[in-house]
Structure 1
């Protein structure tokens, strides 16, 4: 292996580590902030570093970041369970092997799709669109998977599923992801080129 390839690989690992650290900090800060948050909407921002990482680092590294997001979700649902933790952890009461599917597959796709969406329009609008659709991918796939795989526990109609997608934090999350991605991606891409 040449010196430049070793340097590039070390740089990639360092950048991935920074993104993972950002995800952990965002997760922990969200937990703290939402303890005192007076509003019913509690948007998650954990998927934003995954989306940005996908665009800036490529879909393979984005998929890895999505895997890390799924791992954070599974660990959180295992260590600090809430009534819906069974959706994300096979170790939570009523959880099973399908919990791993719900925790990981949608999040891995959140790390893949934004890269290809951004390729359609490589500008600030494309970044915002990738952020919006990446966030929507997370929401729709997690809720759809929960509906299909755990409907016995959830006892939800398809109409209730659609209402949940629209009424929950999903719109606020998608708008926040679009704004943050459109603001941050051009800066990171410029830094990457220099």
Structure 2
């Protein structure tokens, strides 16, 4: 009975979070804040990370895959700037980093929970998962963009070269990355603990 209850809980949470991810992806300013000439500032990663923390890395990866797929679709149907069209119509850039956001966040949370003191508060575990999940998204975005455009760097950043593309990409996304890591580190434990308490009840 307990197993069925947990499974029903997991299915319901995955369904709710998946619907939220879809809404966040397609409704302007609900999940993405577009800045002309720069990658969109996102909060969708927080939804994925929360799912990974409360459900585990597999479900986190699933939610990340949904986010990535929706991002790919959005790049074809609702792209708001040339950079989105250029980068997020590539499945390697749009989907793979998002899958790994959920996977990494879930693994980090589980690792800390298993290897550290029991009195290590849930806030710290969830914050660490949030920060590292967000960092994963940024690092893989930069890495895959660099890999795909190292031979034609001016396509991504006019005036850049193969030698400085990686550095310029880091500079371009640094502000967004800091905001996304801080927001994930703060919001994940607030909402994650509430959902875990709901699960226990």
TM-score bracket, normalised by the shorter chain, equals 0.7 to 0.9
Match of 1:162 in 2: 170
Gaps of 5+ in 1: 90-98
Please say if residues 31 and 44 of structure 2, whose CA atoms lie closer than 8 Å, have aligned partners that are also in contact: no
Match of 2:183 in 1: 176
Please say if residues 140 and 165 of structure 1, whose CA atoms lie closer than 8 Å, have aligned partners that are also in contact: no
Any idea what the Cα deviations from partners look like across 1:10-33, whole Å, max 9, x if unmatched? 443222110011212333152698
RMSD over equivalenced CA pairs, Å: 2.6
With 128-137 and 24-33 compared, the bigger mean Cα shift is at 24-33
Please say if residues 127 and 181 of structure 1, whose CA atoms lie closer than 8 Å, have aligned partners that are also in contact: yes
Please say if residues 54 and 111 of structure 1, whose CA atoms lie closer than 8 Å, have aligned partners that are also in contact: yes
Number of aligned residue pairs: 179
Q: 1:182 to 1:9 in 2, by over 3 A?
A: closer
Q: Determine which of 87, 91, 97 is the counterpart of 1:106.
A: 97
Match of 1:50 in 2: 48
Gaps of 5+ in 2: 114-121
Please say if residues 69 and 94 of structure 2, whose CA atoms lie closer than 8 Å, have aligned partners that are also in contact: yes
TM-score, reference length from structure 1: 0.81
Aligned 1:107-122 pairs, distance under 5 A: 107-122=98-113
Aligned 1:61-76 pairs, distance under 5 A: 61-76=59-74
Q: 1:50 to 1:33 in 2, by over 3 A?
A: closer
Shift in Å at residue 87 of structure 1? 1.4
Are residues 1:87 and 2:78 paired? no
* Distance in 2 of aligned mates of 1:59 and 1:32: 22
Please say if residues 144 and 161 of structure 1, whose CA atoms lie closer than 8 Å, have aligned partners that are also in contact: no
Aligned 1:116-131 pairs, distance under 5 A: 116-122=107-113, 123-131=122-130
Match of 1:92 in 2: none
Shift in Å at residue 120 of structure 1? 3.6
With 15-24 and 40-49 compared, the bigger mean Cα shift is at 40-49
Please say if residues 31 and 42 of structure 2, whose CA atoms lie closer than 8 Å, have aligned partners that are also in contact: no
* Distance in 2 of aligned mates of 1:14 and 1:86: 35
Q: 1:125 to 1:42 in 2, by over 3 A?
A: same
Give the match's secondary structure for 1:30: coil
TM-score, reference length from structure 2: 0.78
